[in-house]
Amino acid sequence: MRACTDSNSKEQKISEDLAHVSQEAVEKLLRRSRPRGSSLKNQDESYSTNHGVSLGLAWGEANKNREKDGAENEARAERDILRGQVDEKGLSVSVDMEEMSDSDWEDGSAHTFKCKENDPETSINGITVELSPSQDLARRKTNRRASAEDKEVAELVHKVHLLCLLARGRIVDKACDDPLLQASLLSLLPARLLKLSENREPTGVSLYPLISWFSNQFKVTKLSSDEKSFRSALAHALEAKHGTPEEIAALSVALFRALNLTARFVSLLDVVSLKPEVDKCDSISQNAQRKGRGIFKNPTVMVDAQNHEPTSPALPSLCSEKNDYENGKKLKLSNATSEMDDIQRLKRKGDVEFEMQMAMAFSATTFEVDKDAGREKAANESLSTYPKKQRRITNVELPSSSSQPLPTAVGARKVGSPQYWAEVYCSGENMVGKWVHVDAINGLLGGEGRVEAAAAACRTSLRYVVGFAGYGAKDVTRRYCTRWYKVAPQRVNAAWWDEVLAPLRELESRATGDRINLPFPIESGLHEEMDLESSTRNGFVATRSTLEDMELEMRALSEPLPTNQQAYRNHPLYVLERWLTKYQIIQPKGPPLGFCSGYPVYRRSSVQMLKTKEKWLREGLQVKHNELPAKVLKRTDKQSKVQAHEDDDCEEANFEGTIELYGKWQLEPLLLPRAANGIVPKNERGQVDVWSEKCLPPGTVHLRLPRIFVLAKKLEIDYAPAMVGFEFKNGRSVPVFDGIVVCSEFKDVLLEAYAEEKERQEAEERKRNEREAMSRWYQLLSSIIIRQKLNNCYGSGQLDNPGKMDKLNARDAGEIQSRSQQQVERMEIEQHDVASGSGAQAEEHEHVFLKEYQSFDGESSLLTKQCHCGFSIQVEEF
DNA sequence: ATGCTTGAGGAGTCTTTGGTTAAC
DNA sequence: AGTTAACCTTTGACTCCTCAAGCA
């Protein structure tokens, strides 16, 4: 029970962490987009509306509405502004456009108007506003590169979308664990299939009857239920035996879990692009679809279905989606509605061709579980006839390799893409067990190698495939992609993604990861690489999770060599010499891994960075004796001129107009001359370049204290100014100095002297402040008294401060005079006490100054008063 | 229509060690 | 007379990435 509470609190904490990460990203995005006014307009509604709306979708209840409303209002406001320019002012459109800054114009504000160009409704008050940007402008617009800001916004949108989809996946996963749903599913299951729950070592083959039964029972429709929560929607789908692809996939996961199988709900997160330009291009082709479609292109949305029912023909219908994906499956939609028929009629020729291609793709690439029992049986039999070793779930090894994406010439639409499926852990597979792709919607098993091709055919890039279990998640993209090098650049910063997934991975691993006994030892090299937490070098214990990590890593490391040269430009594993930068070299070269267009291919890990001697010095490294440069570059004209000029001055003849570069393997730790006899070794400029601690000569210390050099000079200690870098000022680079470098033995002396000096300066400062305060009090009181005297003398009482001075009568003036005099006296006494150290005495005895002890010096106007204790003070007489 | 190569151009990075004058 | 600080003016060459054009 306690463990359960702990677990819950941990889950809660993880959720909070994730929520925190998400919220940070959203807030950053909102902050970024708010002040953006016009420049964001060119992102048109795709950012302001689609992305804005998306923010509210998967958020916590409170945040949900707030963010959604905020973003929608913002988007609406933007639209209203733009509409207002046309609607209200009519012909003033051009004026408004002129009023926009050039940058606004270039940023593409016109783009928003352009959308209306084809709109017959753009006629206002009988006046048609022609908005046809010139070809030149259009060309300029398309040529406009995304600015850094655009990129940052795109990245933020990408991240937020990713988090939303992640949150959605968790919701679905949680619903799959619902005991009532699972019990209901079991109640529907024929008795013969119930036996599966007793199978301790399930295999892919053993799941066939179950998948077959499931795909017979449940149908995909375009209609989403009106249920508020996903759990209710799932219950509704179970009852009706039809639902959205997401619901049906979730039901399959619930069924697997009900049968004690370890199963994940897997989702292909089709996130908005990380790069702004891609979407811009997309937006042109998808303009027609955009109207009723957010970034959540799938009709299964994160908010109440009633609000987002995909009724527009422009929307990708699940009907066509179903057909797109399943034509080859012979799964007929028995509940086709008249609406679906309409949509069928609306299909373009391209769509039909597209569907045919999809059908061909699937029939050619995936194993089909036919509804026909006979065929199913035949399939099973054919599987069972495989030798045990070769019995694979993916029994289709047809020539149409998954590395050859399906032609996408027809239909530039991202519909029909496989988006939801399940993964079941089959411990009877592959000796140690493995995760098996199960697409119960289409009755497919082990089709992981085909998902990429199917997605590519539907113009969906396979960037994030995430498996959900135990309210956690794990990125399993590598299982489904064959060319990681193409996918990786389209994904968000790996560190950020790992950070987001870390707590979820833990939850997922806890839910799915049982310890398993390996029948063989893990290879030591691989073992180290994978950093297996639960495995031991000579033990055979690992977890499913770590084994899966190994499997995914192996997939990535064993990617085939790309066949075109461009692919090597940023390939994480391989490299062509021609794509090396000026400061790169392949070392050690070794035999090439292969060839591409005749050029040798090397490992990316063999690429070394080269630097000049001076650059290495900054890192505390120096080139070994007798090492020849690994690469010699020719200087540019300007560099050569500067160098030649310097050489003339120095009368050196060894200038060769080259830059010598060295690699890491040619270096050793920097050996600077040691400080001796209290003298700091300095460079030719009489200073020490302190790029890092490593650059300090041995026996010296860097004291970063302001104006400490003054003390060093005063104490006659040898020092060198510490140069810590450069800054650009007034068009030239200027060295930045911070503190000094002195011999270590002087460190304490200097620090003590510095502390003393600081104290002395502080005391001086304090004294100065006190004197200043005193002087100001004196001036203030003097002015009051003088004013009062004048007032008394000239009697009108209406000098320049009638509001106050009028009310002062002679008695008051005398009082003020007496008080101010006392105050001045008191301050002087205190000061005297402080100076003479008689503060303690003053506390015990209050001085009394009798008139008979007073004496007045007419010359200095000083009145000397004396107490009977002998204490005397001098007061300036007013 | 797609994919590859090439060249152009833009964005971002790297470069890098004052002189004069007035006030103190 | 020596020291300090403010002011002046506001790089530009290079690398690398991206995109369009041309071609197969």
- Nearest residue (CA) to C1' of C19: A143
- Nearest residue (CA) to C1' of B6: A566
The pLDDT of A14-37, averaged and rounded, is: 55
Instruction: Tell me the two tokens of residue A692.
Output: 């890092």
Whether the per-residue pLDDT at A389 is higher than 60: the answer is no
Cite residues whose beta carbon is less than 7 Å from strand C. A 142-143, 145-146, 275, 277, 569-570, 581-584, 633, 636-639, 710, 728-733
List pLDDT tens digits, range A741-773: 999 999 999 999 888 888 888 888 888 888 888
A519 burial (CB, 10 Å; 0-12 / 13-18 / 19+) is: exposed
Closest nucleotide to A568 by C1' from CA: B4
Whether the per-residue pLDDT at A26 is higher than 90: the answer is no
Residue-by-residue DSSP string for A279-313: HHHHHHHTHHHHTT--S--SS--SS-GGGG----T
A544 close to A512: Cβ distance less than 8 angstroms: yes
- Letter for the amino acid at A212? S
pLDDT at res. A256 = 93
List pLDDT tens digits, range A288-327: 333 333 333 333 233 333 333 332 333 233 233 333 333 3
Higher pLDDT, A572 or A376: A572
Whether the per-residue pLDDT at A146 is higher than 50: the answer is yes
- Alpha-carbon span A365 to A399, nearest angstrom: 9
Instruction: Tell me the two tokens of residue A31.
Output: 């902050």
Q: What percent of the residues of chain A are helix, what percent strand, and what percent coil, each to the nearest 5?
A: 55, 15, 30
pLDDT at res. A673 = 92
- Alpha-carbon span A52 to A72, nearest angstrom: 6
Q: In which band, very low, low, confident or very high, does the pLDDT at A808 lie, cut at 50, 70 and 90?
A: very low
Cα-based distances in Å from A266 to A65, A168, A290, A468, A745: 28, 12, 26, 6, 66
List pLDDT tens digits, range A74-108: 334 333 333 333 333 332 333 333 333 333 333 33
Closest nucleotide to A405 by C1' from CA: B2
pLDDT at res. A777 = 92
Give A730 CA → B20 C1' in Å.
14
- Nearest residue (CA) to C1' of B19: A730
Q: What is the CA radius of gyration of chain A?
A: 40
Average pLDDT, chain A: 66
- Nearest residue (CA) to C1' of B12: A148
Give A106 CA → C21 C1' in Å.
24
List pLDDT tens digits, range A399-440: 333 333 333 323 334 456 788 999 999 888 777 788 999 998
On strand C, nucleotides with any atom < 7 Å from a protein CB are 4, 8-11, 13-20
Closest nucleotide to A639 by C1' from CA: C13
Whether the per-residue pLDDT at A541 is higher than 60: the answer is no
Give A354 CA → C1 C1' in Å.
91
A29 burial (CB, 10 Å; 0-12 / 13-18 / 19+) is: buried
Give A690 CA → C3 C1' in Å.
26
- Alpha-carbon span A328 to A404, nearest angstrom: 19
Which of A385-389, A532-536, A784-788 is most confident? A784-788
Whether the per-residue pLDDT at A273 is higher than 90: the answer is no
Closest nucleotide to A409 by C1' from CA: B1
Parallel/antiparallel/unpaired status of strands A599-603 and A574-576: antiparallel
Give A706 CA → C4 C1' in Å.
14
Give A733 CA → C10 C1' in Å.
12
A505 close to A309: Cβ distance less than 8 angstroms: no
- Nearest residue (CA) to C1' of C13: A638
Instruction: Tell me the two tokens of residue A713.
Output: 């000079």
Cα-based distances in Å from A251 to A30, A216, A258, A268: 36, 13, 10, 17
A638 close to A605: Cβ distance less than 8 angstroms: no
Give A368 CA → C24 C1' in Å.
38
pLDDT at res. A143 = 44
Give A736 CA → C7 C1' in Å.
18
Whether the per-residue pLDDT at A185 is higher than 90: the answer is yes
Which of A344-348, A455-459, A776-780, A840-844 is most confident? A776-780
Give A323 CA → B15 C1' in Å.
61
- Letter for the amino acid at A58? A
Q: In which band, very low, low, confident or very high, does the pLDDT at A702 lie, cut at 50, 70 and 90?
A: very high
pLDDT at res. A701 = 93
Q: In which band, very low, low, confident or very high, does the pLDDT at A187 lie, cut at 50, 70 and 90?
A: very high
CA dihedral defined by A278, A284, A286, A291, rounded to 10 degrees?
A: 120
Give A661 CA → B13 C1' in Å.
19
pLDDT at res. A494 = 83
The pLDDT of A127-143, averaged and rounded, is: 40
DSSP state of A121: G
* Pick from A115-129, A729-743, A767-781: least confident: A115-129
Residue-by-residue DSSP string for A405-423: PPP--S-----S---EEEE
* Pick from A62-66, A267-271, A557-561: least confident: A62-66
Give A49 CA → B23 C1' in Å.
60
Closest nucleotide to A599 by C1' from CA: B5
Closest nucleotide to A710 by C1' from CA: C3
* Pick from A164-168, A209-213, A571-575: least confident: A571-575
Cite residues whose beta carbon is less than 7 Å from strand B. A 145, 147-148, 151, 405, 407-409, 563-567, 597, 615, 685, 687, 689, 723, 726, 728-730, 732-735
A109 close to A41: Cβ distance less than 8 angstroms: yes
Closest nucleotide to A564 by C1' from CA: B4
Q: Select from A99, A96, A72 the least CA-distant residue to A82.
A: A96
Whether the per-residue pLDDT at A495 is higher than 60: the answer is yes
Whether the per-residue pLDDT at A693 is higher than 70: the answer is yes
pLDDT at res. A858 = 73
Cα-based distances in Å from A504 to A183, A200, A767: 27, 27, 62
- Letter for the amino acid at A145? R
A876 close to A868: Cβ distance less than 8 angstroms: no
Whether the per-residue pLDDT at A531 is higher than 60: the answer is no
Whether the per-residue pLDDT at A131 is higher than 60: the answer is no
Higher pLDDT, A252 or A11: A252
On strand B, nucleotides with any atom < 7 Å from a protein CB are 1-6, 10-12, 15-18
pLDDT at res. A266 = 96
- Alpha-carbon span A146 to A161, nearest angstrom: 20
Q: In which band, very low, low, confident or very high, does the pLDDT at A30 lie, cut at 50, 70 and 90?
A: low
Cα-based distances in Å from A854 to A332, A816, A820, A862, A870: 121, 22, 19, 10, 12
Q: Please give the angle made by the CA atoms of A203, A204 and A206, to the nearest 5 degrees.
A: 65
The pLDDT of A701-709, averaged and rounded, is: 87
Give A144 CA → B10 C1' in Å.
10
* CA end-to-end distance (rounded Å), chain A: 87
pLDDT at res. A455 = 81
Parallel/antiparallel/unpaired status of strands A574-576 and A541-543: unpaired
Give A750 CA → B23 C1' in Å.
30
Give A354 CA → B1 C1' in Å.
14
- Alpha-carbon span A324 to A352, nearest angstrom: 9
Give A665 CA → B11 C1' in Å.
33
Which of A117-126, A388-397, A476-485, A698-707 is most confident? A698-707
